Structure 1
Amino acid sequence: MTSTRTDRWLRLDGTTNTRDLGGLPTHDGGTTVPGRILRSDNLQTLSDADVRRLVEDARLREVIDLRTTAEVLLEGRGPLRAVPAVTHRHFSLLPERGHHTDVFAVEEADLPEPPADWVETVLPRQTAEHDREELPAVRSYLGYLAHRPENVLGALRALAAGADGAAVVHCAAGKDRTGVVVAFSLAAAGVPHEEIVADYAMTADVIDALVAKLAASPTYAEDMVRRDVASHTPRAETMDRLLALLDERHGGPLGWLTEHGFGADEQEALRARLRG
């Protein structure tokens, strides 16, 4: 396994978990191309310098936001929303009560005060009986695929069709929802499973700073203090198990994509996005 902990991090003022998916080895002896797809935690607190670095230096042109509608509205408009060159797309991976066809078209001035029970807009997920013995995080990831497959596919299609420049995919912490979408992207690019697992586990390197950042936001503070840092830390065995289940049940991540209508042409487009 190659070292993934050297030069892939983007050290920004307003995020703690931003890194480039370039530079990873592939089955055919190649590597993924830097500057195409980034993964990150929440982008709400980017500094002016961060915005310039992302837009001018990294040539960021698209944001793929995996948070729920309530998270987006409660956190408000991040600074990248003011940049005309950057397109924002929203694909919640959790089942929700109600929906917005374009959550980014809703201006804060048009909103009432968010309800105190905003978390209840996220509907309870049902766990298949044969998955009940899996680790909680694995159950959550399987839930994204079972309950919001159309949005997993929508996020991947947005990444595959991205214009010239970079795209960033993010959620709140950049580890769970982002981790699943990134795993499929890397699998399409031909990155071996062990490297996908290693990329996923990298978030553990910054987990203390990540938890502290989210704890400073009223949206996430309660969840951060209710559980200790260890419970938020991603573990390699979680992603390893998810990939093993995809292998067993679908012939791998690409098999799952094919079964859900993301066929060979789209898979090749996603592969080309990361391979050049």
Structure 2
Amino acid sequence: MTRWIDLEGVVNMRDMGGLPTTHGRATQSGRLIRSDNLQDLTPASVTHLVDTLGVTDVVDLRSTLEHRITGEGPLRATSLTHHHHSLVVESDDDARTVDEALALRFEPDGSRGRPKPVRDADFWGRHYTGYVTRRPDSVGAALAAISRSPGGTIVHCAAGKDRTGTVVGMALSVAGVPDDAIVEDYVLSAERIERIIDRLIDVEPYRYSLPSHTIDEQRPKAESMAAVLTHLRDAHGGAEAWLRERGWREDDVARLRSRLLD
């Protein structure tokens, strides 16, 4: 079964249904959809998502700065419920001009005399773990939005692989999907990495930094997602235990699990 959802205006959208779990049940289709940026959806694509797939909620993991620059996408004109939970540490970007904020947030690798980071699997593993440690409020709120959705939920960022991969991976882990299946889904974005980069490289604000990255630096690698899952297990006892540390009760966890399974 293919999980890819091919619609005009996105290149990295797929359904999280059909994944195995340790409970012996597969995740249900139409409950959780991961995607790249939704700004370019056509009217026909919007209709398909809302009327055919039954999407009711959108969880947007992009920063406030990205929102300032890109504006509202076409799904904002629908009855869908939107949840904005940035996974980056927000600064005083609102007090700066857009150009000033861009220079700080999206400056090219190696600018201002700083060494260019090696964007290998270890780099991205640390990056994903940083979302969990620096923005636990947003990660938890995103997972809560998924759990309370009356229909399907789309989780997205810009490329649909890093921020989206972290939140979706945690949701799947709570549902009982084993680590290897979570990693396998994450790596699927590598099949479309060229299309993802082509879509973003000339677009504000990503055109500031993406040209300094190679395709291979942006390509999802299994070790990166495995690293954040290992961190959650070693430091907290897993994604479910991480949520409990943040005040989730048994019924809260059960609601998220049942949203993806039942």
- TM-score by length of structure 2 reads 0.90
2:144 pairs, out of 157, 162, 165, with: 157
Alignment partner, residue 110 of structure 2: none
CA displacement, residues 223-245 of structure 1 (integer Å, 9 cap, x when unaligned): 22111111011101111122122
Give 1:40's aligned amino acid.
S
Distance 1:141 1:176 in 2: 7
Matched position secondary structure for 1:201? helix
Q: Distance in 2 between matches of 1:142 and 1:240?
A: 10
Q: State the 1:82 CA deviation.
A: 0.9
Partner of 2:134: 147
Q: After TM superposition, give the deviation of residue 12 of structure 1 in Å.
A: 1.0
Stretches of structure 2 that go unaligned for 5 or more consecutive residues are 107-120
Give the secondary structure class of the aligned counterpart of 2:141.
helix
* Amino acid of the structure 2 residue aligned with 1:25: P
Mapped contact 1:94–1:122 kept (Cα < 8 A): no
**Deviations along 1:151-188, whole A, 9 cap, x unmatched?**
1000011110111x211010011111111110111011
Distance 2:87 2:103 in 1: 15
1:273 corresponds in structure 2 to 259
Tell me the CA shift for residue 216 of structure 1. 2.9
Paired amino acid for 1:145: V
Structure 1 match to 2:113: none
Q: Assess if the C-alpha contact under 8 Å between 2:122 and 2:223 holds in 1.
A: no
Deviation at residue 40 of structure 1 after TM alignment: 0.4
Residue identity opposite 1:92 in structure 2: S
Q: Which runs of 4+ in 1 moved over 6 A?
A: none
Q: CA–CA distance in 2 between the matches of 1:242 and 1:89?
A: 23
The residue correspondences of 1:1-276 to structure 2 (distance < 5 A) are 6-83=1-78, 85-98=79-92, 115-119=98-102, 135-163=122-150, 165-276=151-262
SS in structure 2 opposite 1:135?
helix
Q: Distance in 2 between matches of 1:21 and 1:230?
A: 25
Is this contact kept in 2: 1:14–1:47, CA < 8 A? yes
Question: 1:153 and 1:178, CA in 2 relative to 1: closer, same or farther beyond 3 A?
Answer: same
Give, as a single letter, the amino acid of the residue that structure 2 aligns with 1:116.
D
Query: What's the RMSD between the two structures over aligned residues?
Result: 2.1
Query: Shift in Å at residue 262 of structure 1?
Result: 2.3
Equivalents in 2 of 1:97, 1:121: separation in Å? 10
**What is the alpha-carbon distance in structure 2 between the residues aligned to residue 242 and residue 216 of structure 1?**
30
CA distance in 2, matches of 1:260, 1:225: 38
Confirm or deny: 8 A CA contact 1:96 1:122 kept in the other structure: no
Return the alpha-carbon distance in structure 1 between the equivalents of residues 62 and 89 of structure 2: 11
Residues 165 and 186, structure 2, Cα contact 8 Å, conserved in 1: yes
Contact 1:25 1:32 in 2 (8 A): yes
Q: Over residues 7-38 of structure 1, what are the superposed CA-to-partner deviations in whole Å (9 max), with x where a residue is unaligned? A: 10000110111001111011121100001110
Residue deviations 1:46-101, cap 9 Å, x none? 11111111111111111100000010120111111111x2111100011111489x
> Is this contact kept in 2: 1:96–1:121, CA < 8 A?
no
